[in-house]
């Protein structure tokens, strides 16, 4: 523990006590000698203006007069572990989308990097040893800032939006409720004034966005959670079906520790198979996640989900069953 960490720790001890603290307890907590302790006290009094008093019979304490505000160390103080956590947080934010928040996070990132590289802290390896990897993320496009600002300022937005599912461009006026980062991609959860319903819009598909001088409609968090979080995946709506999946004993070692949904129910069966029950409404995303487990999962119920998975697997198999053409090459089916 170095000098600065001891100052930080001593401050927290004295600020959190209403009675004097004996010197023996402080020496043990700070892991230092009496000489070092007295130097810390002098530094805090002289340079940090800490109101430290000493009662020879009872110990050290912060002097407090009626009406005085609680003393705080000037500036921001972090322990080595707190700096490590802050660095990871900064890396996570910067990794959400390269360049998305770079302009705003750059000063913070530079300062954290300077602190981490300080030999006193022994954290110079942090920048090399922490890596954030995104998978299948899509560029957010030019209108993330407009949508985020309108969401925070509670303003309506007029958007021109390309729907992937229908392959069409539509114009909508929306009241944004939340910005959601899901599986390395951004969505805006909003009330659509055209449909008179809650909807989710993929931010990367917004072709134009204009903030309007109109207040956005507001919904209680409970209503938003009921609509957006009750069913599986990004496809919103209240869950009305339950998927029952059985995973092989080998795959169960991974799946049993995974969280597919906040309301999932899982249990091991007598043969070592792992049963997972998941509430859902729209099966599209659930089917994709089932398929990634290949032959180590079976859909038990409902029959409609089982049939969809079977048909998807048949189509996938057909892609590898093309007849060779006269040149001896396989005929592609797509």
Structural domains of the chain sorted by starting position, each given as residue range(s) with its CATH number in brackets: 3-62 (1.10.10.10), 80-129 (no CATH), 144-228 (2.30.30), 241-318 (3.30.70)
Residue whose pair of structure tokens reads 């590289």 in the numeric block: 117
Q: Is the dihedral of CA 33, 39, 41, 47 positive or negative?
A: negative
pLDDT (tens digit per residue) in 160-201: 999 887 889 999 999 999 998 888 788 999 999 999 999 999
Structure-token pair, residue 93: 């934010």
How many whole angstroms separate alpha carbon 164 and alpha carbon 237? 19
Q: How far apart are CA 164 and CA 291, in angstroms?
A: 21
Question: CB neighbours (10 Å) of residue 233?
Answer: 19
Q: How confident is the model at residue 293 (pLDDT cuts 50, 70, 90)?
A: very high
| Mean pLDDT value of segment 72-91 | 70
- Reduced to 3 states (helix: H, G, I; strand: E, B; else coil), residue 209 is strand
pTM attached to this predicted model: 0.62
- SS3 label, residue 28: helix
* Mean pLDDT within 222-228: 88
What is the rounded CA–CA span in Å between residue 280 and residue 283?
A: 7
- Name the one residue in this structure whose structure tokens are 């001890």: 13
Q: Quick check: 243 pLDDT over 80?
A: yes
Mean pLDDT of 65-92: 73
Least confident of 14-18, 110-114, 281-285: 110-114
């Amino acid at each position: 523990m170095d000098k600065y960490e001891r100052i930080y720790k001593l401050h927290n001890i004295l600020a959190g006590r209403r009675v004097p603290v004996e010197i023996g307890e402080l020496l043990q907590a700070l892991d230092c000698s009496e000489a070092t302790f007295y130097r810390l006290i002098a530094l805090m009094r002289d340079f940090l203006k800490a109101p430290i008093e000493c009662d020879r019979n009872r110990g050290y304490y912060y002097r407090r007069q009626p009406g005085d505000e609680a003393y705080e160390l000037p500036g921001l103080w972090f322990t080595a572990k707190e700096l490590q956590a802050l660095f990871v947080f900064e890396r996570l934010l910067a990794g959400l989308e390269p360049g998305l928040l770079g302009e705003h996070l750059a000063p913070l990132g530079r300062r954290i990097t300077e602190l981490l590289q300080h030999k006193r802290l022994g954290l110079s390896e942090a920048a090399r040893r922490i890596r954030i990897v995104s998978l299948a993320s899509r560029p957010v496009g030019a209108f993330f800032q407009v949508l985020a600002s309108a969401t925070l300022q509670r303003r309506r937005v007029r958007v021109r939006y390309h729907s992937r599912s229908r392959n069409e461009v539509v114009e909508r006026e929306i009241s944004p409720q939340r910005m959601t980062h899901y599986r390395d991609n951004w969505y805006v959860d909003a009330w659509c004034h055209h449909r008179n319903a809650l909807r989710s819009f993929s931010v990367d598909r917004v072709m134009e966005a204009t903030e309007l001088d109109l207040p956005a409609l507001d919904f209680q968090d409970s209503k938003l959670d009921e609509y957006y979080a009750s069913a599986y995946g990004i496809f919103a709506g209240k869950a009305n079906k339950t998927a029952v999946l059985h995973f092989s004993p080998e795959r169960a070692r991974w799946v049993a520790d995974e969280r597919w949904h906040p309301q999932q129910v899982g249990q091991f069966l007598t043969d070592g198979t792992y049963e997972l029950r998941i509430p859902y409404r729209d099966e599209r995303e659930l089917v994709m996640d089932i398929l990634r487990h290949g032959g180590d999962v079976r859909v038990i119920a409902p029959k409609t989900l089982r049939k969809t998975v079977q048909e998807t697997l048949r189509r996938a198999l057909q892609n590898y069953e093309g007849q060779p053409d006269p040149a001896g090459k396989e005929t592609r089916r797509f």
